[in-house]
Structure 1
């Protein structure tokens, strides 16, 4: 199975610059942030409601509870919100304050004010990656990047498995990228 491409730093900067140059930049930044900083899948991003992410006072919740219908595996689950993700979500809420009033409304909306489907989220990622000239990246690249970066920072694979919401640890291990540079750095730990 071919893995979604991990983005290099220059590629990430290119995508962010393109997002900032287009309409709905705060919304698109928040969508990318949820993928890259929490590892959500396209179907999970599309299923988010305002009340899942924001409390009645407009503050970002520190934990997002996903109902079974919002997840790939049809099992309720939780997603922890980092400070980086919170910042992107607050910027989104500031750009679209009227949208955050209705807790049952879709968190992300299209130009026609309807919610996104999983496919439209996939298409949004594909559009920005194509504009940036990045081949092999997909809506799953952020999720894979999130899990790989956790591993690179020394987070235990069992913790990564829990954050990924995978039932089987072997699934989590397939997401984590390694290359010769990482292998060399690992053996130098015993220097």
Structure 2
């Protein structure tokens, strides 16, 4: 099975430039933030409700609780909100205060003001990667990047497994990318 591409820094900049040129740039940046800074899957992003992410006063929650129906494995889970994701969510609330005030609404709205399906989120990622000229990237690229960056920073694979919400550690290990440069750096530690 072919893995989703992990983006280089130059590719990340190109994607953000494309996102910033779009009408709903803050919404789209926030969708990407959930993928890159929390490792959420497309179905989980699509399933988010305003109340999952913002409290009754409109403040960003520090933990997002996913109900069983919002996850791939039909098991409730939690997602910790990092500072970078918090910043994206605060910008989202500032850009769309009326939308964020409706706690029952889907977190992300379409141009028709309805929510997104998981497939629509997948298509949105594909569209922006294509516009940025990036081949091999998908809605799973941010998730792989999130997990690989944690591994690159020396985070224990069991912690990464918990953050990925994987049942089996071997699944987590398949997400973590390595290349010759990383292998060379590793042998120099001895």
For Structure 1 versus Structure 2, the TM-score category normalised by the shorter chain is over 0.9
Q: 1:50 corresponds to which residue?
A: 50
Residue 90 of structure 2 is aligned to residue 80 of structure 1: no
Q: 1:118 corresponds to which residue?
A: 118
Q: Which SS does the other structure have where 2:78 is aligned? A: strand
TM-score by length of 1: 0.99
Counterpart CA distance in 2 for 1:134 and 1:18 is 11
Q: CA shift at 1:101, angstroms? A: 1.1
Counterpart CA distance in 1 for 2:89 and 2:116 is 17
Query: How do residues 35-74 of structure 1 correspond to structure 2 at under 5 angstroms?
Result: 35-74=35-74
Q: CA shift at 1:49, angstroms? A: 0.2
Describe the superposition over 1:1-38 as per-residue Cα deviations: whole angstroms up to 9, x where unpaired: 11000000000000001100111000000000000000
Unaligned runs of 5+ in 2: none
Counterpart CA distance in 2 for 1:128 and 1:6 is 15
Describe the superposition over 1:118-159 as per-residue Cα deviations: whole angstroms up to 9, x where unpaired: 001001000000001100000000000000000000000000
Query: How do residues 32-181 of structure 1 correspond to structure 2 at under 5 angstroms?
Result: 32-181=32-181
Q: How many residues align?
A: 190
Q: CA shift at 1:104, angstroms? A: 1.4
Q: Which SS does the other structure have where 1:158 is aligned? A: helix
TM-score by length of 2: 0.99
Describe the superposition over 1:75-110 as per-residue Cα deviations: whole angstroms up to 9, x where unpaired: 000000000000001101111000011111100000
Counterpart CA distance in 2 for 1:52 and 1:46 is 12
Unaligned runs of 5+ in 1: none
